[in-house]
Structure 1
Amino acid sequence: MSDPTTQQTGRATPAGKRRVAFASYVDEEDLPGFLVLLRSLVLSNPGICPDFVVLHDGLGPAAFSAIRRLYPRIVPRRVDPARYDAYAGGDGDGSPARGAYLFLEAFRPAGHDTLITLDTDLVVLKDLRELLELREGLAAVEQYPAGGGPGALDSGLLVINREYLTGEFAERLDEIGRSGGHDVEHHGRGVLNAALGGGFVRLDPRFNFVKQRLDGGLPVPDDVRVLHFTGPHKPWRGGEVGYDRAEAVWHRYDLDDQEFYRAFCALPGDRHPELVVHYGTRLIEEYGADAAVLLATGTALYSLGRYEQAVEVLRRVRDPRGTLDPRVNLALGRALMAVSHYAEAEARLLLASRDPGAAASAFGLLAECAWIRGDRRRQVARAVAGLDADPTDRKSRLLLRRARAEERRAAATADPARQFAHVAFYMDEQGNAGDRGLPEAVRLVFGPDTSAARWHPVHVHRLFDASALREANARRGVVVGGGGLFIPDTSPNGNSRWQWNVPDAMLRRITVPLVVFAVGYNAFEGQGYSHRRFTESLRLLVDRSVFFGLRNHGSIERVRALLPGDLAERVVYQPCPTTVARHLAADWREPAERAETVLLNCAYDRSGLRFGYDYGNFLDQMARAVTALRERAEVRYAAHIASDEKFVFDLRREYGITLPVVPMYDMAATEVWEAYTDCRLVIGMRGHAGMIPFGCGTPVLSLVSHPKLAYFLDDVERPEWGVSVHDRRLGAVLVERASALLDDHRAALDDVAKCRQRLWTITQNNLERLREPLGLPL
């Protein structure tokens, strides 16, 4: 059976991310057990928060209210019991036997790739992440004692992967159930065992440890992950004589809501931000919370991009003695910056800077706040103070360097009438290599002169205030681009909710032509722009622009969906200029001979959104691919930023494989282009680890962990150049496709050139549309 993630590089799920969920069948009688199961799951696994599917046959509103108070990602799914009435032994009279079949509803397709089903008489005692990482087959613990025949499974806990979550397998279960070809005494478990015939992945018994193993009042072993209270005598119904020690474990999780929320908030270590917000908010609103809970909740809200709510929560911390934890002022100052309340942010950060432990971080943020507001004097003073507090503080050092560079640019003279204002993300030294060369690539589209004589830089993250407006209106026009500027969590602001920190009032007062050029909608799967402020800013931006070009059709679809019809029609396709780099550089030369080298790149920012629960499989598959490709060429690692090198460290630690590193973050843009030209193939995860080499004429394969890579490959009509990082056959697929490109390299080069020419034609046509409004030469 084919791996579904291999198929999922289209628009619907372009990164092929595996959709994982827990599931339980719940009725009113067993609701108390399910609530304890939920509490135990959360308290034993505070770092994970997948969906939880609640299968039910008519649970009432009160039941769902109680359930939702305990977990933020509940997905109700109604079961039609009539289907199971026709099963032999189904007893369509509402008897307990009927309910014993209804958990089989989990096998009917409903959009998940991995489903972990849990009976309501389980209690979770340890980490279950290992189960979330299982990718193949149907996994379970063998039945104890072996009453269902040799090789029978216990259905109390199942890990069901995609090949079993199909209509085909569900129909097989129906056929067995209706025919009576199963052990009727074991109901739904009997149907499942008859269908599998012992063909399932065996889990260690500690993942479904039945209480009968504790006969005689034995204690629960320390390594048990999941304890199962099989039989009719459930703990919430009074329990069973002889199992007091096991039932005492169950009762540890039989908490009221306030006890549960406080128990979670007191847990050490990493906790999933959605869980922190869910329980912290309820404590705050219903029972009262101390400063520690307010700080944790506000910090989690910030990490989820809910900046206004973070400010509201952090402002609730009271300081009657004037000894407020500096971490609160630090977190509140950062959150206030994210909603563009800069004056109040500075006041909070100054308070935090009085504490030696928080001073460096506070001064770094103060320097950034001064830079955003265009106050270079304070920017320098506060960056220096940050370095005095901690000479290794990266943010303060960066802001000090940035101030000095801007002083040099300000000293240069240029005629504003000859310039365009260029709103872009100007990357600092050792920043992302793809982004660092992007502003110059945009400028090259408009002509060979990319110097300060023709271009006035406007950093996208600085506040576009009245002073910036005057400077922009003194130029020939304003060009915004390129890069994935439509993203909510990179240097957040409250003025636009995307990367350009522009208030509506300033946007309306731009009088020169405004061009949005090759911008991308850079949200990961699972991220979005629910905030109304972003939509309002976007609509005004489109309305004020003489040209609005996005760099892939995936971005176009997402943006058009946020616009009324008349504005949606104005959004057009403009490829990223890096994809046509060879047409922009006047002195470009095709290398006479390319090195026998394959360049590999991976990305680690927002790792949870990129890899989900599949990083272990990804690393294993990449180790296989690297080992095989070394038989064909030298494999070198292209690091766009320093943190990309995590792959090299992990590969060496786990598999003993060492790769030479090309530190592109230390290279000039022209050196990056040269490196991507002087190789035979690039396998990259970052967007510009695909677009730049493609623009340089080099064949590419993309490790798709973000929709934008699939969007680009769709645009050039080569989806086969992409492989999802979640593909369980990733290594074999990469080797097969890489080998094909290396075997007939001339044909691969010609194919890239043909695809690139189409993008260049589109770019030239768009440029023709801009000649008159921007006054460009013919």
Structure 2
Amino acid sequence: MTVDSLAPETVRPPAGASAHALTGKRRIAFASFVDENYLPGFLALLRSLALSNPKLCEDFLVFHDGLRPASVARIRALHPRVELRRVDAARYDSYAKGDQDNYLVRKAYFILDVFRVRDYDTVITLDTDMVVLGDLGELLKLREGLAAVPQFFYGQHKLNSGLLVIQRDYLTDAFCARIDATGRSGDYELDKHDQGILNAVLDGDFHQLDSRFNFVKRRLSGDLPVPEDTAILHFTGRHKPWLGGEAGYGQAEERWRAYEMSDAEFHAAYVARSGSAHHDLLVHYGTPHVRRTGDVDTARRVALAHIGAGEFQEAVELLGSVRIPVDSAWPHEVYGHALMSVSRYDEAEARLLLATAAPNRAATALSRLAQIAWIHGDDTTAHAYAMDGLAVDPTHRGNRLMRLRTQGASGGGVPGQREGSPEEQLAHVAFYMPQQGNAGDKLLPESVRLTFGSDTGPRRWHSVHAHRLFDDAALERVNARRGLVIGGGGLFIPDTAPNGNSAWQWNVPDENLNRIDVPVMVYAVGFNAFDGQSYRRERFDSSLRQLVERASFFGLRNHGSIEKVRALLPASLHDKVRFQPCPTTVTRQLVEGWQDPAEREDTVLINAAYDRAGLRFGHDYAHFLAEMAKAVRGIGEHAEVRCVAHSLDDEKIAFDLRREHGISLPVIPMYDFENDAIRETYARTKLVIGMRGHAGMIPFGCGTPIISLISHPKMAYFLSDIERPEWGVSVHEKDLGAILVERAAGLLADHAASVADVHGRQRELWKITQANAADLRVILGTPAR
């Protein structure tokens, strides 16, 4: 298979590249040049940005030529993601200027250093004499060229450089050379400084923004009011509000003074904003506000932000620092959630029981109490709590699932088969997906078991749910078996079923891990952290190291995971970490009696994932959806396009395409399928375009061509392992729709060759799986088969 004409932009970097490089997620930053004289203006700018855009928090690059430590501290107090960059001031001494001796004239050029930024895809510059009054979301969605507002006095040909939205194609050495050449030649309006140089270089070639994004003060002469739709107000001219301002602009300057406040006033103003807030901002401003005031409601909101980011210990510490009234149900419920996430279960129960007193929090609190009981193996109590929760709210999904889970559902065995004797069984730690759960996770435990033999039921296997506490009783049961297999998902992830015992999905205390005396085999586990996610490193690192030391076999399902895990281990353990492909990728080899379909349906299945949507899409979801609409229409000329939903949330793409673009897709509810039906559905179709890891690996394992929508590094890891990076396209790709149509058409045009390529790639993974199987038989003392 050849890479098509659009491929050079989308071939993925190697697995060792950064998560950002693998996913193609755009990196966006704001930038300003700041010195001591303009510091008051910059501080007001930062406050206005946060208060006007409370959900927005990108990196902020602060260019400077020397700032006092106290000034840096004040800046950092107002923004959690500040990065200081010192300008190369000497560079601009060679520029021709109207007044070489005026220090303000000299510094006016320093913002041009922004064009030397190479580690961001989009940079938005803001002058320090601006305040933000409205939503800037539109600016973050821009993806091409250089955008600015035309100058007020000079028509449409020239830009005002107070606000620039600069894309990567201008952040180049070539463009910097043009700036330097123009500056040194003096062939520009000398009295316009940096703005003059940019206008000379661009010669009108810029994307024109509406004036509300750089509304200059001069438009308000005569003390006119600031228009309601103004997004950014710019105090151009010599007179700055923090120096006393200028007569005739009183209403404009009142808008600036609204952001001249103390840190305490600013923190209070931010947390008083209704609606959602960005995690980083709420934590940065809310935490000192709570320390200062002891405000319980703010503590609850900040704690929820911590929990949403997997920062459970931080949530516990914050809520533990305030006095929560007995009748404040919601803070008690959040505190209980945080405590159970760090395995302080008794304390969590006490808080959650207090929360059950309020009708509007009772269902959720009872669901968490049911979860704690289930974690401890007490299905009877868990069922009772779930039923109590449904009595309060019959629609509560968590309680409905727990009711089903505790009505005799086995942990992954096959109904109707007899239990085997312990000495003939392997214990199996996995995430056993409940009803209507993720289809990929539902299939995984059985797929792992198939690599050890065709009998995947309770005669040969003892199920150990990863999320249940691995206590002394569980330890005794495992030690009675032949060995312990750990595998069946991306278990190395910090925020799925969090616990304080391991900080990954298996809820195992160190003491009991080290008391396992049968062979431990970690099989095809993935390191599944998203770009932007982090672990409780000390706890996770220690647990991981002990697991590797204890394991007789430690296999990870892609080389990207191997690199991540090895980086957390001492060098002496690196060689123990080996490659074991996910067993779903070799399904055709594992399923007894497998037959490739004689004919396939003339369909293409599309899957999109929406868990952790902010980490997946950033600011590009509208772009992604529009490009997928183009793709569906284009691919629809070659085959029928359907939506395949691994989980209920995956149906969102069908709803959004219909609402936003008038496209209706049939939905396949794979979350309701049994394992055979999952495999059969993927084997029958001609092509799968999927965003979930197992919306790529499962169809691949069934012999079906795939294209991966990359929003997570693991997708790129897998494609790198099979040496087919061209089968992946970033969800952030500018030409996503056209690329998908072109690649899908190519795969469908010679479908037999495409299938043969999949089979060839699969054979390589099967060889590795067979070699590892031989080692596992030695570990278990099992005869070759």
Q: TM-score, normalised by structure 1?
A: 0.97
Q: Does 1:603 align with 2:609?
A: yes
What is the rounded CA distance, in whole Å, between the counterparts of 1:317 and 1:126 in structure 2?
34
Instruction: Name the stretch that deviates more: 374-383 or 453-462.
Output: 374-383
Aligned with 1:767 (options 748, 753, 773): 773
Q: 1:184 aligns with which of 173, 180, 190?
A: 190
Q: Is the aligned partner of 1:6 residue 2:10? A: yes
Q: Given the superposition, is the C-alpha separation of residues 187 and 283 from structure 1 closer, same or farther in structure 2, using an over 3 Å criterion?
A: same
Q: Which one-letter code corresponds to 1:137 in the other structure?
A: G
Specify which of 129, 153, 158 is matched with residue 121 of structure 1: 129
- Aligned equivalent of 1:243, options 231, 246, 249: 249
Q: C-alpha distance in 2, partners of 1:461/1:607?
A: 24
In the alignment, what sits opposite 2:543? 537
Q: Given that residues 430 and 465 in structure 2 are in contact (C-alpha distance below 8 angstroms), is that contact kept between their aligned partners in structure 1?
A: yes
User: Does 355-364 or 761-770 show the bigger shift?
Assistant: 355-364
* Matched residue type, 2:44: V
What CA distance in whole angstroms lies between the structure 2 residues aligned with 1:308 and 1:203? 44
Residue pair 1:478, 1:515 contacting (<8 A) in 2 also: yes
- Structure 1 243/7 Cα, relative in aligned 2: closer, same or farther at 3 Å? farther
Question: What residue is the counterpart of 2:351 in the other structure?
Answer: 348
CA gap of 1:654–1:648, structure 2 versus 1, over 3 A, is same
The letter of the residue matching 1:637 is: C
**Hey, what's the Cα distance between the residues in 2 that align with 1:636 and 1:692?**
17
Q: Does the residue aligned with 1:599 lie in a helix, a strand or coil?
A: strand
Deviation of 1:482 after TM superposition, in Å, equals 2.4
Displacement of 1:316: 2.7
**What letter corresponds to residue 288 of structure 1 in structure 2?**
T
- Is 1:699 the counterpart of 2:702? The answer is no
Q: 1:2 to 1:191 in 2, by over 3 A?
A: farther
Partner of 1:309: 314
Q: How far is the alpha carbon of 1:388 from its aligned partner? A: 1.2
Deviation at 1:171, TM superposition (A): 1.4
296, 304, 311: which is aligned to 1:291?
A: 296
CA contact (8 A) 2:10 2:728 kept: no
Counterparts of 1:94 and 1:555 in 2: how far apart (Å)?
56
* 1:608-687 map, 5 Å: 608-687=614-693
Please say if residues 82 and 92 of structure 1, whose CA atoms lie closer than 8 Å, have aligned partners that are also in contact. Answer: no
Q: Report SS of the residue matched to 1:437.
A: helix
SS state at 2:22 partner: coil
Instruction: Tell whether the 8 Å contact from 2:296 to 2:324 is kept in structure 1 after alignment.
Output: no
**Equivalent residue letter for 1:654:** E
Distance in 2 (CA, whole Å) between partners of 1:480 and 1:3 is 38
| CA separation of 1:90 and 1:454: change in aligned 2, threshold 3 A | farther
Separation in structure 2 between the aligned mates of residue 64 and residue 7 of structure 1, nearest angstrom: 41
> What is the RMSD of the two structures over their aligned residues, measured on CA atoms?
1.6
Q: Equivalent residues in 2 for 1:453-602 (5 A)?
A: 453-602=459-608
Note the alpha carbon deviations across 1:307-330, whole angstroms, 9 max, x for none: 11211111233246x43x100110
Give a deviation string over 1:644-689, Cα, whole Å, max 9, x none: 1110011001110101111101111111111111111111000000
Identity of aligned residues (%): 57
Q: Once superposed, which parts of structure 1, at least 4 consecutive aligned residues long, lie more than 2 Å away?
A: 1-12, 90-94, 405-414, 528-531
What is the DSSP-based 3-state SS (H/G/I as helix, E as strand, rest coil) of the residue aligned with 2:568?
A: coil
Shift of 1:302: 1.6
Distance 1:5 1:90 in 2: 43
Distance 1:703 1:28 in 2: 47
Offset at residue 93 of structure 1 (A):
4.6
> Could you tell me which amino acid in structure 2 is paired with residue 160 of structure 1?
I
Instruction: Give 1:2 deviation, angstroms.
Output: 9.1
1:68 and 2:76 aligned: yes
SS in 2 for 1:484: coil
Stretch moving more, 89-98 or 712-721:
89-98
What amino acid maps onto 1:351 in structure 2? L
* Distance (whole Å) between structure 2 residues aligned to residue 401 and residue 604 of structure 1: 25
Residues 96 and 319 of structure 1: CA distance in aligned 2, closer, same or farther (over 3 Å) = closer
Task: Find the counterpart in structure 2 of residue 259 from structure 1.
Answer: 265
Give the partner amino acid of 1:367. A
1-structure distance, mates of 2:538, 2:674: 39
Aligned mates of 2:295, 2:701 — CA distance in 1:
55
Amino acid at match of 1:362: A
Tell me, in whole angstroms, the C-alpha distance in 2 between the residues paired with 1:548 and 1:112. Answer: 37
CA contact (8 A) 2:44 2:260 kept: yes
Within the alignment, does 1:103 sit opposite 2:129 as a pair? no
Shift in alpha-carbon separation, 1:733–1:66, aligned structure 2, 3 A: same
C-alpha distance in 1, partners of 2:536/2:382? 33
Pair 475,92 (structure 1): closer, same or farther in 2 beyond 3 Å: farther
Other structure's SS at 1:357 match: helix
Which one-letter code corresponds to 1:310 in the other structure? A
1:85/1:677 CA distance change after superposition, 3 Å: same
Q: Aligned residues, how many?
A: 773
Q: Distance in 2 between matches of 1:392 and 1:365?
A: 16
CA shift digits 1:615-641 (9 cap, x unpaired): 111111111111011111111111111
Instruction: Report the 3-state secondary structure (helix = DSSP H, G, I; strand = E; otherwise coil) of the residue aligned with 2:491.
Output: strand
For 1:766 and 1:720, how far apart are their aligned partners in 2? 28
Amino acid at match of 1:532: E
- Cα distance in 2, alignment partners of residues 32 and 197 from structure 1: 34
Q: Helix, strand or coil for the counterpart of 1:347? A: helix
- The aligned residue for residue 167 of structure 1 is 173
- SS of 2:163's partner is strand
Q: Within the alignment, does 1:751 sit opposite 2:754 as a pair?
A: no
Unaligned residue ranges in structure 2 (runs of 5+): none
For 1:404-483, list aligned pairs within 5 A.
Answer: 404-406=407-409, 413-483=419-489
User: C-alpha deviations, 1:88-122, integer Å up to 9, x for none?
Assistant: 11866561111111111011133000001000011
**1:190–1:477 distance in 2 versus 1, CA, 3 Å:** same
Q: Per the alignment, in what secondary structure is the counterpart of residue 62 of structure 2?
A: strand
Per the alignment, in what secondary structure is the counterpart of residue 498 of structure 1? coil
Given candidates 331, 337, 340, the residue that maps to 1:337 is 340
Q: Which residue in 1 is equivalent to 2:399?
A: 396
Change (3 A) 1:678 1:475: same
Do structure 1's residue 360 and structure 2's residue 356 form an aligned pair?
no
The code of the aligned residue for 1:262 comes to A
1:531 Cα deviation after fit: 2.2
Give the superposition deviation at 1:376.
1.9
Paired position in structure 2 for 1:270: 276
Q: Residues 234, 480 of structure 1: CA spacing in aligned structure 2 closer, same or farther, 3 A cutoff?
A: same
